[in-house]
Chains A and B, each alone.
Chain A
Amino acid sequence: MDQLLINQGFPLLSALIFLPLAGAFVMLPFKSEETCRYISLFVTTLVALLSFVLVAGFDTSTAAFQFGETHTWIEPLNINYTVGVDGISILLVAMTALILPFCILASWSYIKVRVKPFFICLLVMETAMLGVFVALDFVLFYILWEAMLIPMYLIIGIWGGPRKIYASIKFFLYTLAGSILLLVAIIWLYWKNSYSFYIPDMMWQPYGITPQVLVFIAFFIAFAVKVPMFPFHTWLPAAHVEAPTAGSVILASILLKMGTYGFVRFALPIVPDATLLLMPYVLWLSIAGIIYGGFTALAQQDMKKLIAYSSVGHMGFVTLGIFVLNKQGIEGAILQMINHGVTTGALFLCVGMIYERTHSRELSAATGVGKYMPVFVTFLAFFSLSSFGFPGTNSFVGEFLVLAGTFEFDLTLGLAAIPGAVLAAAYMLRMLQKVIWGGPNNPDQSWITDLNSREIVTLAPFLLFVLWIGLSPGPFMEMMDMSVTELLNQFNAYKAHSVAAVDILVTQ
């Protein structure tokens, strides 16, 4: 347990995890919709503030898991409630906590029916999402990972668009079917590690190459569906398009990150040999995702679909960065997870705001609003620029690092990824051009009103982070630096004494 620094004081992580759940229970007896809105806003804001305390107290000089808590949970099976954060998860936790209040704000007037259940679903989601990022017991992780499906299913299925039934069931089935084998892999690891589910103990163990490959495949299917990597991405456009704004934001900003987080947290340290062996295939799948996402986004008429496909491309960059297995790559990938969360989340909020006015997500219905919504298009322009990695914005830093890592790893691979960056500029500028100026036959948009102050408050913090990470990524990089360095050191040490075995296998 030396990788876990037990927190003696206030159980901060547990507070983060269970506050939203408690909030959901508090909300139950209230009938008034307005009260429910304020309760959920209050709870999520409190969690966001607590996450600042977490970040402030985070020690960047160690790679160990901090703020650790461990309690016996299910004794006969040796399952514990163990949580902790390290440099890889701290930013994701903070991002999750910070985004949720804005999801509440974005749903303030968007959700008109069954308001209370909606906010209960959101709060339960927050509990599960925060839990997934800090869980250090594999069963705890899996339970939260799966439990999340229920509220998300309901969010899409009840409050979604016209094809909500199809989208919600597809989302549920894909994700569940993907993670079924993960459960078997977890049980195998439990059995191998003298009946313990403690994740750090499972890392860097000499498991033998065949089981490693099988476990890797189980991990890969579960996480690749969630990321989603090409060709497992088909649930994503459907779910994004039909989900209400808050649902889209949560999906894009947080849920997708769980897949990539899973790769960094589990696939690399637990089955390093298999990672090394199968890495080329994953890398080329990432490239396929980048190119495919870019081209498909270019052809979309539906704004939400466009952003959804752009997510496939962006997440391709993240997996690319992870699996080149060098420092720039992984750090870039983690930063890019945050960037994608901020930027794409904000873009979905923007589309949601348009939708509330025109009740259409079609690009053609939103053309030429620039004249009447100057504030809105300013925001939209910044987020679009950020989305294709314009210098000075957050994604530039992330993509640059990932590409630097890729070129360091392999020239061909780097060159193959470049068209993705170009495509991103093409589809984003196309959307931006249409929304702001449109063409000679714009619909009459003069009745449209610009953003109100609630909406400006919702978008402004996203813009702050876009520019902050873009102009001064130092503090963010520093948070993850120790953990990534340690991860790679361990990886290389492991590789050194097992690379010979892999070589034999590959050459045969």
Chain B
Amino acid sequence: MLFLPELILLLGTLSLFLVSLGSPAIETLRKLTITVSVLVLIATLVCLKQNGSLFFDSYRVDFFSQLFKFLIIAATLAVLIFSERSPGIKSDVKAEYYVFLFTGVLGLMMLTSSVELLAILVALELSSFAVYIMVPMRSSNSAGALQMESGIKYLLFGVMSTSFMLFGMSYIFGLCGSTYLHDIAIRIEPLYYQPAAIVAMIMIMAGFFYKLAIFPFHFWVPDVYEGAANETTAFIAAVPKIAAVAVMIRIVSLISAEGQTVVNLLLVCAICSMFYGNLSALVQKDFKRMLGFSGISHAGFVLFGLLTLSSQGYATSIYYIVGYAAMNLACFLVVCTVASSGENLAIEDFTGLHQRSPFLAIILAIGLFALAGIPPFVGFTGKFMLLVNAFKQGHVLAVVLAAINTAIAIYYYLSVVRVAYCSDPEGTAPKVVPGAMTTAVSVLLLIVIVAMGILPGAFLHITSTAVGTIL
């Protein structure tokens, strides 16, 4: 029962592998993948209240991890549904693509439960390598050879940050003599006067900085976002970040009051992420690149919640990353639907979207306004609560800088809304009609964005409970 969601996912992956040996039709694949993820989704819901340990205590199953598993599979399901027939993926490797996708999801789900350094590493690598391979699987008629370059970049940066993390783990093991997080938490507390402990903590976080795309481990973001297929980018932009927040919370909670140096460093990283992401996004022409840079700045905000080292801050971070995933998925849903043959979209390509599909235009506008942090959407409420929590911890200057970033960010989001709403297409652009399931997903995302924005109370209550189970 404790391992049920992962088990179902594993079986699903294996069956997909068997299917991939033949040459399945895309419709079959689509049915199969959606069925598997729906089953896993149900399993996560059933197992939400499970509690226990597995694999020599290195694998904790608690409300915290189960909640994250639910979020991960829900986001994956959304991506699977709105990618429709995955036009951006090479047609002869579509089955394999899904195998790797599910392997990646499995790795991410395991990551949320890992409470031991080696387990974390194995889960992280399982998910990373699967995603590394997904990037170059883009069909070459939609992007030339761009996907190869991105694949290599993604891999190299990933391996580099993993090596940082491993190095940090070796320090931690040397200092504490254990690889279990709960042992480390006790033993590292008196050691924070030692530079080695600080360096070790920071290097361990490097691996997750990479997943979350936080400065200075963000360099892969724009190229990978641009080079990967639209549906792959949607996945990368949302799902691994959710899992990364889960582990970050576990790691950051190892920092005790003496670890102020680490906190200060995180603060600098958060602010740099915001400025770097927002300022670079201002000049982008490609929509996915722009979302990539905006993702960097949003990761800075997530870090803002983590570095308060308070359970409220963690709960808000979870709230924010979920909201971010919803807003981002809403935008990528529009990208995937408008780019009907899987091509990259420049911002200009949204010109007159309000005529081509009024519905998608609304989704896009709300997604972008939410990302920009305009009330009453989730982006505003999340930012507001993060700022309040940071303020309570006395990071006043950082709060002011973060607030200024909101003002910078609005320009590039607005420029997309502008072309979608305020300009008319030259000639007659083809209409875009989303499929029924995609429409359902978009309505659902819309509800999440608005409801979480207006009534965050219930959701915050859930995340606080989840955080409470691990502290």
Contacts and interface: CB of A to CB of B under 8 A. Distances in A.
B385 A172 contact: no
A416 interface: no
Interface string B354-387: 1000000000000001000011100011001101
Contacts of A143: 375-376, 380
B26 to A, nearest CB: 35
Interface stretch (A144-152, A275-283, A457-465): A144-152
Interface in A122-161: 139, 142-144, 146-147, 149-150, 153-154, 157-158
B376 A147 contact: yes
Q: Which of B385, B392, B411, B418 has the most chain A CB within a 10 Å cutoff? A: B418
B437 interface: no
A183 interface: yes
A187 B395 CA distance: 12
Q: Which of B399, B406, B457, B460 has the most chain A CB within a 10 Å cutoff? A: B457
A154 B418 CA distance: 9
Contacts of A114: 354
A165 B388 contact: no
B346 interface: no
A142 B375 contact: yes
B457 A164 contact: no
B418 A77 contact: no
B180 interface: no
Contact of B410 (A76, A147, A173): A173
A76 B460 CA distance: 8
B457 to A, nearest CB: 5
B399 A187 contact: yes
A168 B376 contact: no
Contact of A139 (B384, B391, B404): B384
Contact of A158 (B415, B422, B455, B461): B422
Contacts of A39: none
B421 A147 contact: no
A213 interface: no
A335 to B, nearest CB: 32
A184 B400 contact: yes
A158 B403 CA distance: 28
B414 interface: yes
Contacts of B410: 172-173, 176
B375 A76 contact: no
B58 interface: no
B256 interface: no
Nearest to A76: B460
Contacts, number: 83
B423 interface: yes
B318 to A, nearest CB: 13
Contacts of A173: 407, 410-411, 414
Nearest to B355: A114
B464 A76 contact: yes
A176 B407 contact: yes
A279 B312 CA distance: 40
A164 B381 CA distance: 30
B282 to A, nearest CB: 12
Contacts of B461: 76
B456 interface: yes
B422 A165 contact: yes
B337 to A, nearest CB: 21
Given A180-B407, A184-B399, A75 B422 contact: no
A444 B406 CA distance: 52
Interface residues of A, number: 34
Contacts of A147: 374-376
A74 interface: yes
B374 A149 contact: yes
Contacts of A154: 421
Contacts of A77: 385, 388
A180 B380 CA distance: 12
A190 B384 CA distance: 12
Contacts of B406: 176, 180
A38 interface: no
A75 B354 CA distance: 38
Q: Which of A73, A75, A77 has the most chain B CB within a 10 Å cutoff? A: A77
B414 A183 contact: no
A376 B347 CA distance: 46
Contacts of A157: 418, 421-422
B456 A169 contact: no
A147 B376 CA distance: 6
Given A180-B403, A187-B399, A150 B369 contact: yes
A116 to B, nearest CB: 10
Given A169-B414, A173-B410, A150 B384 contact: no
A184 B422 CA distance: 32
Interface string B428-456: 00000000000000000000000000011
Contacts of A184: 387, 391, 399-400, 403
A187 B398 CA distance: 13
A394 to B, nearest CB: 35
A316 B449 CA distance: 40
Interface string A167-200: 0110011001100110110011011000000000
Contacts of B381: 74
B115 to A, nearest CB: 27
A181 B385 contact: no
Contacts of B418: 157, 165, 168-169
Contacts of B385: 77
A181 B396 CA distance: 12
Contacts of A76: 312, 456-457, 460-461, 464
A158 B388 contact: no
A415 B459 CA distance: 59
A150 B373 CA distance: 12
Given A146-B374, A169-B414, A187 B456 contact: no
A187 B411 contact: no
A191 to B, nearest CB: 6
Given A74-B455, A74-B460, 20 more contacts: A73-B455, A74-B456, A76-B456, A77-B385, A142-B375, A146-B380, A157-B422, A165-B423, A168-B418, A172-B410, A173-B414, A176-B374, A176-B406, A180-B403, A180-B406, A184-B387, A184-B391, A187-B387, A187-B399, A188-B391
Nearest 6 CB-CB pairings of A with B: A143-B375, A157-B422, A177-B407, A180-B407, A180-B403, A187-B391
17 contacts: A73-B457, A75-B457, A142-B375, A144-B375, A146-B375, A150-B369, A164-B422, A165-B418, A165-B422, A169-B411, A173-B410, A176-B407, A180-B406, A184-B400, A184-B403, A187-B391, A188-B391
Interface of B: 312, 354, 369, 374-376, 380-381, 384-385, 387-388, 391-392, 396, 399-400, 403-404, 406-407, 410-411, 414-415, 418, 421-423, 455-457, 460-461, 464
